[in-house]
Amino acid sequence: MMLNMSIWLGITLMLLCCTSWGSASTTSRYMRRLEEGVDLPENSTYFKIPKGYNAPQQVHIHQGDFEGKAVIISWITPDEAGDSKVLYGKAPGSKYTTSVTGEANTYSFYTYKSGYIHKAVISGLEFRTRYYYTLGTGDAAREFTFVTPPESKLDTPYAFGVIGDLGQTMDSVSTLQHYMKSFGQAVLYVGDLSYADAYPFDNNVRWDTWGRLVERSTAYQPWIWTAGNHELDYLPEVGETIPFQPYIHRYHVPFEASGSTSPLWYSIKRGPATIIVLSSYSAYGKYTPQYQWFLQTLEAVDRSVTPWLIILVHSPWYNSNSYHYYEGETMRVIFEPFVVKYKVDIVFSGHVHAYERTYPVSNVEYNIVNGLCTPKNDNSAPVYVVIGDGGNVEGLAGTFTDPQPAYSAFREASFGHGLLEIQNHTHAYFTWHRNQDGERVAADSAMFLNKYWT
Ligand SMILES: *[C@@H]1O[C@H](CO)[C@@H](O)[C@H](O)[C@H]1NC(C)=O
Ligand SMILES: *[C@@H]1O[C@H](CO)[C@@H](O)[C@H](O)[C@H]1NC(C)=O
Ligand SMILES: [Fe+2]
């Protein structure tokens, strides 16, 4: 059965790569169990608390500016604030040349009180350089390392991982372990992080366990965050009426550097790509801050510096799964004309717990009364990839609409992650890796041609 499956998939992939629009849509017959997952227990070894008094935990880094020469380092100390100091340099061990001191904040959520959440920004870094950094002191000191991105230029290879809707089950662990065996240099994270809101009163202890789970990757390379619905933590019945508070306090992004007025939408350049992060759960209609910022940001992209233009948004605009079907439709209607006009290459989304890749399609002619409501092949339009299959407690979304719409190239309900290997200014190779295979196996793959340059 397994053998038949791989032959079958192999043939399908061969067909996909040499056929054009509409002639080869695949709904993979490879389906995993669909029941709900189970979160790891709070005392799971995957959530282990580092040793030493007040030891830094939940360490994660993010690009700290628009260009890629700064890094935001964030971590939590459980017992006291301490001094928010980061020692760093180009050599490991005690050979640090520099330090920077950030600041610590706390927040509360109903009866939960957070630890001390530190944020320090290291700036003036060199491109394409390995740095080491240490947090904490004495026997609680912990050292990590990261590599800065290459300077943005036309032909700059760079590999992004793509992960969404991760949660904290054994499936989440498997996704994380698979991804960490890849050559991904930064993660495009398409929203829904901890699923702490699956617990009574959104038990924020589960934000902490998640921070410790993902630290094994997030301390070493940036995960470019997108907010999903599970980041809302909106609980008016216990007085928590301001959405996104745990998320915003914990996950810092350099939104001001791209002229944004909210951490929920922002943009960075990283190597050959401009990444634009949107918020499905903030206002986006005409005249709203997000709408105006989005248009200005698209307008300002220089494709001779960052040839690749990528959007991250939690709720998909194209999705043929029955789960969350059409939830992203209003945002698609408002934003899609600009996405086509500015030749966005790829829109990555999560939310739906399955994988789906479309052909380059657009549906911008539809005006409610003209009946032109069928998406059509459009080489100026992006490819849409739904990849909310990180492995959270809610399980897989296994019911696809039937028949498979012509815009949908490949879809499968399995847990996994993606890898976008930008090779040069015209070619980027995308692969999807499901958890039941070894990391080297690609269950789906496609060569994406740059929309601006080809
Ligand atoms: C976690 O707690 C459960 C129940 O209290 C216990 O059975 C289990 O052995 C504990 N596991 C670890 C790794 O400490
Ligand atoms: C870009 O990469 C593709 C695929 O590897 C290759 O065929 C093409 O020649 C490359 N173009 C340039 C300008 O290097
Ligand atoms: Fe979601």
Domain with residue 270: its CATH number is 3.60.21.10
Please give the number of the atom of ligand 2 that sits closest to the Cα of 447: 4
Q: Distance between CA atoms of 166 and 39, rounded to whole angstroms?
A: 11
Q: What is the pLDDT of residues 228-239, one digit of tens each?
A: 999 999 999 999
Q: Which of 156, 308, 422, 423 to mutate to test the pocket of ligand 2 (most atoms within 8 A of CB)?
A: 423
Ligand nearest to the CA of 454: 2
Q: Are residues 140 and 186 in the same domain?
A: no
Q: Distance between CA atoms of 294 and 303, rounded to whole angstroms?
A: 16
The pLDDT assigned to 11 comes to 37
Q: Are residues 176 and 136 in the same domain?
A: no
Q: Which of 425, 426, 431 to mutate to test the pocket of ligand 2 (most atoms within 8 A of CB)?
A: 426
What the block records as the tokens of 281 is: 């759960």
Q: Are 27 and 411 in contact (CB under 8 A)?
A: yes
Say which CATH number the domain at 127 has: 2.60.40.380
Q: Are residues 102 and 183 in the same domain?
A: no
Q: In what order do the strands lie in the sheet with 416-422?
A: 223-224, 186-189, 158-163, 416-422, 427-434, 444-449
Q: What is the pLDDT of residues 274-304, one digit of tens each?
A: 999 999 999 999 999 999 999 999 999 999 9
- 444 domain residue, yes or no: yes
- 20 domain residue, yes or no: no
What the block records as the tokens of 152 is: 């943005």
Q: Distance between CA atoms of 162 and 349, rounded to whole angstroms?
A: 10
Q: What is the pLDDT of residues 166-184, one digit of tens each?
A: 999 999 999 999 999 999 9
Place of tokens 């991982």: 161
Give yes or no for residue 14 having a pLDDT over 80. no
Q: What is the pLDDT of residues 330-381, one digit of tens each?
A: 999 999 999 999 999 999 999 999 999 999 999 998 877 888 889 999 999 9
Whether ligand 1 lies within 6 angstroms of the CB of 370 is answered as: no
Q: Are 62 and 439 in contact (CB under 8 A)?
A: no
What is the identity of the amino acid at 318? Y
- 2 domain residue, yes or no: no
The pLDDT assigned to 28 comes to 80
Of 88, 120, 147, which residue sits at a domain end? 147
| Total of domains in the chain | 2
Interval 122-139 mean pLDDT: 97
- 39 domain residue, yes or no: no
Whether ligand 2 lies within 6 angstroms of the CB of 423 is answered as: yes
Whether ligand 1 lies within 6 angstroms of the CB of 43 is answered as: yes
Q: Let me know if 241 is exposed, middle or buried by CB neighbors in 10 A (0-12, 13-18, 19+).
A: exposed
Q: Are residues 371 and 442 in the same domain?
A: yes
Q: Are residues 372 and 400 in the same domain?
A: yes
Q: Are 307 and 191 in contact (CB under 8 A)?
A: no
Q: Are residues 157 and 133 in the same domain?
A: no
Q: Are residues 87 and 185 in the same domain?
A: no
- 415 domain residue, yes or no: yes
Q: Are residues 77 and 175 in the same domain?
A: no
How high does pLDDT run on average in the chain?
A: 93
Half-sphere exposure at residue 112, Cβ-oriented, CA atoms within 13 angstroms: 23
Show the domain range for 57. 51-147
353 CA → ligand 3 middle, Å: 8
46 CA → ligand 1 middle, Å: 13
Q: Are residues 302 and 345 in the same domain?
A: yes
Q: Are residues 79 and 137 in the same domain?
A: yes
Q: Are residues 119 and 183 in the same domain?
A: no
Whether ligand 2 lies within 6 angstroms of the CB of 424 is answered as: yes
Confidence of residue 97 (pLDDT cuts 50, 70, 90): confident
Q: Are residues 94 and 184 in the same domain?
A: no
Judge if pTM exceeds 0.85: yes
- 18 domain residue, yes or no: no
